[in-house]
Structure 1
Amino acid sequence: MPSPSPILTSHPGAVPTPEGDPSPGVAWHYGDPLGEQRAATRRAAIVDRSDRAVIELSGDERLTWLHTISTQHLTGLADRRSAENLSLDGNGRIEDHFVLTDIDGTTWVDTESSRGESLADFLTKMVFWAKVTPAARPDMAVLTLLGPDVLSGPIAEAIGLAADATVYQAGDLPELRHDDEPLGFWRVMPSLGDRGTTPVVDLVVPESDVRAWWKLIVDAGAAPAGMWTYEALRVAAMRPRLHLDTDERTIPHEVDWIGGPDEGGAVHLDKGCYRGQETVARVANLGRPPRRLVLLHLDGSSAYRPTTGDDVNAGGRKIGRLGTVVDHFENGLIALALVKRNVPVDTELVVGAPDSPDDAATARIDPDLYTPDDQVQPGRAAVDRLRGRG
């Protein structure tokens, strides 16, 4: 478990994340959680995500090696570019989700705090004869900037953000101290918020500089915001999080983690062999995933507040699993859920125990973020043509 962040221990009004939260040691909010969300969507906010585990990969073969053991296509990844990536088990189920950035001859990886040690161990065991050295970097931390004002103006100038920066582009941060070499970088990430309208920029910086960067960015106009804000905007954008919105059976297609570095995905469908590829290819070409990710609007007036892992029921039968649950400043109580692929969008849902009104709440699927699953997979279409059905 990471040590409490220096922002949590020093910032007035900081309230830590709840016990058992997957982001330990950082602030849940600073006294006005819904106001912090408004600031993030309308102006700018900064979120302390220093619970993230950071791993450094050095060596000339770092990208070609990582390409062979993970789901993303990395052999052509340019300098100062980022990508999302997965590690799967032999059956194609998701074990790890991580973000990587290649900059100045080093690849930086960050992931959930609970998976940092195991991911570092896995990478180390997979080195064999490759010219690459994985190293855990607990001295590095992640800060996240949210809002329309982070891409231009004083905040962008403070971090040295390129005027034409695009999603997954990265760059060196300006020096904080003239007697040291620059250390740390910015990267532009996919937008969050309702319909993905809130820009996101991450900073990966030395832990010793977290307070200095925090003060610099707040002085430039960003409002302090807690993980509550980040989670609310993440859920509204239907961006899943490992072990909250996935379980031990989840495959990439179920949570829409398909796509290359320029598509916001973590699984490239046009690359060589990696562990779990057979399942990915079979679903992509011949079948459909058994479940799909949906955004639920929950009955906030119910006496029962649903929690992650609750059953999602329809007609008295379990049809899915509830993921992240969070209060959104405009949409009320919302959640992500994995439900059976063929559940109609207008199905009446009950979350919790369907036979006990005191332990259940009603829910509905957001129709605007629901895509009908009627596309014929390319492999299936080819088979149908061969059999005279296409």
Structure 2
Amino acid sequence: MSYLSPLLNRAGAVQAGGLDAGVASHYGDPNREQRLLAGYLGKPGTAVVDLSHRGVVTVTGPDRLSWLNTLSSQELTQLAPNVGTELLLLTVQGRIEFDARVVDDGESTWLIVETEEAAPLAQWLNSMKFTLRVEIADVSAEWAVVGSVAEVPEWDKFLAWVDPWPHIGAGGYSYAAIPEDKHPGLERPWREHLIPAAELVAVVGERPLAGIWAAEALRVAAWRPRRGAETDEKTIPHELDLMRTAVHLSKGCYKGQETVARVHNLGRPPRRLVFLQLDGSLHTLPAAGSSVILDDRVVGTVTSAAQHFEMGPIALALVKRSVDPEAVLTVDDDGEKYPASQETIVATDAGQVVGRQTGFLRAPR
């Protein structure tokens, strides 16, 4: 049976589809909801976002952090309680299989994932535990996730994952073309609260709600990649700048590490994430999957598009690494054409600079 959030009973709620089926896309006024979520005129945000469709998996037992450390891209052995981090589970070829938000409460490690990932993640983890002292459970039905930009003091009793993005974690590396202190993600200090599902309506109470449309607009503006949106079956972390928050380059072996190290040291991830400022004259947004065109050639794909309350229509796209970062692109959505100026997220020489610094590549003459 498909999930339907009880908060869809709030006045004006319109259900979302795709990755976010089961919660509200908006409650009647997306731009106002976005302002209430983000905060404006110097005021902190007051709205929260219903993410109760998200998957939640717990790992308990004394071996949980050391065990997850051996499986994932992230260093977890010293993870302190209530500190948010991110881990990737990769294929042997270094492609992203799972992307989990991670927070530990001192007794259990909580993994927040996209809706359809919870069951297969729990199943895979159970297949890997062998004789270790860990217990894995898909607790998605018992726990609801609620997102916010601002802190919610009344919810201090609830465990929350605080997004490390865009800060470069220990062992991480930025592939962005701008320094950390200029990164637009700093304007979105995102957190996801874990609330007992049975208490969701009572805990949210009369607090203003913002829909998924508002949350996605802020995510796109923050250049924050999302599993299932910016990823496909070929995605490696380097292409999305996930090396900054989800990969520890000095930890021990894990599946996919060879590819991660090779691309990092030798350079040239095949694609790179870009931010697009779209022409707003059509008063519509291109669909995810729309082609990105340069000189009549398809050079990439739109992964997410949103209407930002200040910037207007914006998008994230994956393009070929070699695309000129100064070029004006065109997004083609089944014949509807959107001129698009691009802003570099992952630098065109990402990885190659690392290779030159470590001696793997020769500097160009």
Normalised to the residue count of structure 1, the TM-score between the two structures is 0.82
**Contact 1:254 1:290 (C-alpha < 8 Å) held by counterparts:** yes
1:106 aligns with 2:83: no
1:116 aligns with 2:118: yes
Gaps of 5+ in 2: 40-44, 167-182
Normalised to the residue count of structure 2, the TM-score between the two structures is 0.87
Paired position in structure 1 for 2:229: 244
Paired position in structure 2 for 1:159: 155
* Change in CA separation of 1:35 and 1:194 when aligned onto 2, cut-off 3 Å: farther
Cα offset, 1:39, TM superposition: 1.3
CA distance in structure 2 between the partners assigned to 1:231 and 1:303 by the alignment: 18
Paired position in structure 2 for 1:60: 62
Paired position in structure 2 for 1:196: 186
- Among 23, 31, 39, the residue aligned to 2:20: 23
Please state whether the residue corresponding to 2:145 is helix, strand or coil. Answer: strand
Paired position in structure 1 for 2:240: 255
1:299 aligns with 2:279: yes
CA distance in structure 1 between the partners assigned to 2:283 and 2:262 by the alignment: 43
Task: Note the 1:1-390 alignment, pairs <5 A.
Answer: 2-8=2-8, 10-18=9-17, 21-42=18-39, 43-137=45-139, 138-146=141-149, 150-151=150-151, 155-156=152-153, 158-160=154-156, 173=157, 184-190=158-164, 195-215=185-205, 218=207, 223-259=208-244, 265-302=245-282, 305-352=285-332, 358-366=335-343, 371=347, 373=349, 376-383=352-359
Q: Letter of the aligned partner of 1:198 in structure 2? A: R
Paired position in structure 2 for 1:179: none
* Change in CA separation of 1:27 and 1:382 when aligned onto 2, cut-off 3 Å: closer
CA distance in structure 1 between the partners assigned to 2:299 and 2:305 by the alignment: 18
Cα offset, 1:136, TM superposition: 0.5
**Contact 2:90 2:256 (C-alpha < 8 Å) held by counterparts:** yes
CA RMSD between the two structures: 2.4
**Contact 1:304 1:361 (C-alpha < 8 Å) held by counterparts:** no
CA distance in structure 1 between the partners assigned to 2:133 and 2:37 by the alignment: 42
**Contact 1:284 1:377 (C-alpha < 8 Å) held by counterparts:** no
CA distance in structure 2 between the partners assigned to 1:304 and 1:378 by the alignment: 40
Cα offset, 1:330, TM superposition: 1.2
Encode CA deviations 1:301-357: one digit per residue, 9 max, x unaligned. 23874211122111111211210111111111111011122322221212227xx8x
Q: Letter of the aligned partner of 1:257 in structure 2? A: L
* Change in CA separation of 1:277 and 1:365 when aligned onto 2, cut-off 3 Å: same
CA distance in structure 2 between the partners assigned to 1:194 and 1:389 by the alignment: 31
Paired position in structure 2 for 1:262: none
Identity %: 41
**Contact 2:285 2:305 (C-alpha < 8 Å) held by counterparts:** no
CA distance in structure 2 between the partners assigned to 1:29 and 1:307 by the alignment: 18
CA distance in structure 2 between the partners assigned to 1:283 and 1:382 by the alignment: 13
